[in-house]
Chains A and B, each alone.
Chain A
Amino acid sequence: MVVESVVNCLLAELDDKFAGLDQCFSKLHEIVKRFLESREGGSAVVIGPKSSGKRSIISKVVMDYANDMEVIFIDGLILTSDTDALKIFDTSEFSSGQLQFVIVFNFDQFVTRGRQTLLYTLLNASRSGSIFVLCVSSRQDCTELLEKRVRSRLSNSLISFAQSSISFDDFSQTFATFLHTNMKKYKQNNELIQPFIADDCVKRKLHEIYDETRSYCILKQITATFLCFMDAEHIESLASPQASRIFIEAKNAIISNEDTMKSIILSLTLRQLCLLLCCVRLVRYQRRQNFTFREIILDYRKLINKYLPTLNVKDDLILLKELDTLCSLTVLEERDQCAQLLFKRTSLQVDIDLVLNCVKEFTPLPTALIHWLDDLEK
Chain B
Amino acid sequence: MSGMEATCSKKLWQIVSVLRCRNSSITHLHVYGTTAGAKDEVVQKVIEEVKENDEVMVLRVNCYVNHRSHKLFCQGLYNLLPHSKPGKKIENLESVFEECKTELHCVKSVIMVIILNNAEMLLNFPPRFLQALFSIPKKYGGTIKLVSVARLPWTRFEITEHISSPVQFAFEALSKGEVQEALSTRLNFDNNFIRCMLDMVYSVCRDLNQLSYIIEKLWDTESSDGNWANNAASNKLKTCYAVRGQNRTEDLFYRSEKRFVEDGQTFCLSTSAKYLLIAAYCASYNPPSSDRRFFTKNHGKQRRRAAATKLRNNFESAHETGPKPFPVQRLLFIYLAMLEKHDMRNQCAADIHAQVAELCAMGFLNRVSADGNLDTPKYRCIATFEFSEQLAKTMGIEIRDFLIDFSS
Question: Measuring CB to CB, which residues of chain A are less than 8 angstroms from any residue of chain B?
Answer: 8, 11-12, 14-15, 50-51, 55-56, 75, 77-80, 109, 217-218, 220-221, 223-225, 227-229, 231-233, 249, 253-254, 256, 260-261, 263-264, 266-271, 292, 294, 310-311, 313, 315, 318, 321, 328-330, 338-340, 342-343, 363-364
Q: Give residues of chain B (142-199) contacting chain A, Cβ–Cβ below 8 Å.
A: 142, 151-156, 162, 165-173, 175-176
- What residues of B have a CB within 8 angstroms of the CB of A51 in the complex? 165
Q: B141: CB under 8 A from chain A?
A: yes
The answer to whether A221 touches B25, judged by C-beta atoms less than 8 angstroms apart, is yes
The answer to whether B153 touches A264, judged by C-beta atoms less than 8 angstroms apart, is yes
The answer to whether A225 touches B26, judged by C-beta atoms less than 8 angstroms apart, is yes
> Which residue of the partner chain, among B17, B172, B173, contacts A229 with CB atoms under 8 Å?
B17
- What residues of A have a CB within 8 angstroms of the CB of B5 in the complex? none
The answer to whether B322 touches A339, judged by C-beta atoms less than 8 angstroms apart, is yes
Q: B221: CB under 8 A from chain A?
A: no
- The number of chain B residues touching the other chain, given as a range, is 35 or more
> Which residue of the partner chain, among A220, A256, A270, contacts B168 with CB atoms under 8 Å?
A256
Residues A267 and B173 in contact in the complex (CB < 8 Å), given A231-B17, A253-B168: yes
Q: Which residue of B lies closest to A295 (CB)?
A: B320
Q: B18: CB under 8 A from chain A?
A: yes
- What residues of B have a CB within 8 angstroms of the CB of A318 in the complex? 250, 254
The answer to whether B203 touches A310, judged by C-beta atoms less than 8 angstroms apart, is yes
Q: B85: CB under 8 A from chain A?
A: no
Question: How far apart sit A318 and B152, CA to CA, in the bound complex (Å)?
Answer: 23
Q: Which residue of B lies closest to A77 (CB)?
A: B132
A284 → B minimal CB distance (Å): 20
The answer to whether A363 touches B165, judged by C-beta atoms less than 8 angstroms apart, is no
The answer to whether B25 touches A217, judged by C-beta atoms less than 8 angstroms apart, is yes
Q: Give residues of chain B (1-50) contacting chain A, Cβ–Cβ below 8 Å.
A: 10, 13-14, 16-18, 21-26, 33-34, 36-37
The answer to whether B254 touches A363, judged by C-beta atoms less than 8 angstroms apart, is no
Residues A321 and B254 in contact in the complex (CB < 8 Å), given A232-B17, A363-B175, A364-B176: yes
State the main secondary structure of chain A at its contact with B.
Answer: helix
- What residues of B have a CB within 8 angstroms of the CB of A329 in the complex? 34, 151-152
- What residues of A have a CB within 8 angstroms of the CB of B168 in the complex? 253-254, 256, 260
Q: B105: CB under 8 A from chain A?
A: no
The answer to whether B176 touches A11, judged by C-beta atoms less than 8 angstroms apart, is no
Question: How far apart sit A328 and B18, CA to CA, in the bound complex (Å)?
Answer: 30
Q: Which of A78, A80, A292 has the most CB of B within 10 A?
A: A78
Residues A340 and B382 in contact in the complex (CB < 8 Å), given A11-B23, A260-B154, A292-B322: yes
Q: B348: CB under 8 A from chain A?
A: no
The answer to whether B34 touches A271, judged by C-beta atoms less than 8 angstroms apart, is no
B108 → A minimal CB distance (Å): 13
Q: Which residue of A lies closest to B135 (CB)?
A: A77
- What residues of A have a CB within 8 angstroms of the CB of B93 in the complex? 78
- What residues of B have a CB within 8 angstroms of the CB of A267 in the complex? 33-34, 36-37, 172-173, 206
